[in-house]
Amino acid sequence: MTRIQLNVNETIHDVEVEPRHSLVDTLREGCGLTGSHIGCEHGVCGACTVLVDDQPVRGCLMFAVQADGKDIRTVEGLDDDGAFNALQQAFHEHHALQCGFCTPGMLMLATWIVERGLPVDDNELREIMASNLCRCTGYRNILRAVRAVLDASGQDGAGA
């Protein structure tokens, strides 16, 4: 067992892990943050996507020890005391979720796109969001929701 420190959503978690424990397992079991989901454990579905030092990462492909000392952001950190942030609100309004299992990963990936601050055209948006699988929505409404937030923040595709 190794003791590591994860700064998750601006809260320090001191946790004991085995070297083989994945980051997502540790977030879920060690930190009690079960919002990040596990859909495949082999890096394809993206349900486990979290931001590590503001970069999207497959939580199932990173060992917890690799994240020692890093800043991690998960779905639990998005809302402001229960008030949806812009992405959450857009997902809600555009019916961008059904079962909601892929949603945390989709939200974190989209967070990265929005926070990058770069213009994103529809093709690029589709390419990036294709990193994650959703089995329910057929993607249309997820793309619309992210598009709406990008447009509102001036990141439309014009000139991209």
Partner 1 sequence: MTLIGKSVPRLEDRELLTGTGRFAGDQNFEGQLHMRVVRASLAHGRILSVDTAAAAASPGVFAVWTGVDVADVSPINLRPGSALQDLEKCRQHILAQDIVRYVGEPVAVVFADDPYRAEDAAELIWADIEELPPVVGLMDMPGEFAPGVSTEPAVLVKGYGDVDAAFASAAHIVDCELSVGRHAGVPLETRGALAIWNDDENRLEFHAAAKIPHTNRIALAELLGLELDQLHLFEGHVGGGFGVRGEIYPDEVLVNLAALRFRRPVKWIEDRMEHLIAANHSREQTHRIRAAINADGLILAIDDEFWFNQGAYARTHGATVPVVSATMLPGPYKVPAYRATGRIRLTNVTPAGTYRGPGRYETTFVREQLMDTIAAELDLDPLAVRRTNLIAADEMPYERPFEIGGKPIIYDSGDYPESLARFLDHVDYDAVQAEMAERRASGEMAGAAIICFVELGGDGPFDDVRVEMDTDGRVEVITGVASVGQGVETVIAQICADTLGIDYAGITVTHGQTDRIARGQGARASRVTVMTGNATHKAASGVRGMLLEKAAELLQSPVETLEISDGVIGIVEGLGEGPSVTVAAAAAEILRGQNAPRIAVEESFENDRATYSFGAQLAVVVVDPLTAGVTVERFAVVYDIGRAVNPMLVEGQLVGGAVQGIGGALFEEFLYDETGQPLSVSFADYLMPTAAEVPDVECLVLEDSPSTTNPLTLKSGGDPGITGAGAAIAAAIGDAIGRPGAIKRLPVTPLRLRAILRGDADRKQEKNNAENGVST
Residues that bind ligand FES (CB under 6 A): 38-41, 43-48, 58, 60, 97-103, 134-137
Query: Which string of b and e fits 94-107 if b means at least 16 CB within 10 Å?
Result: bebbeeebbbbbbb
Site for partner 1 in 103-142 (CB under 8 A): 103-104, 107, 126-127, 129-142
Q: Does residue number 19 form part of the binding site for partner 1 (CB under 8 A)?
A: no
Q: Does residue number 1 form part of the binding site for partner 1 (CB under 8 A)?
A: no
Binds 127, which of ligand FES, partner 1, none (CB < 5 to 8 A, cut-off by type)? partner 1
Give the nearer residue to partner 1 in terms of CB position, either 114 or 143.
143
Contacts of 100 (CB under 8 A, 6+ apart): none
Binds 75, which of partner 1, ligand FES, none (CB < 5 to 8 A, cut-off by type)? partner 1
The contact mask relative to partner 1 for 33-72 (x = CB under 8 A, - = no) is: xxxxxxxxxx-xx-x-------------------------
Q: Which tokens sit at 25?
A: 């397992």
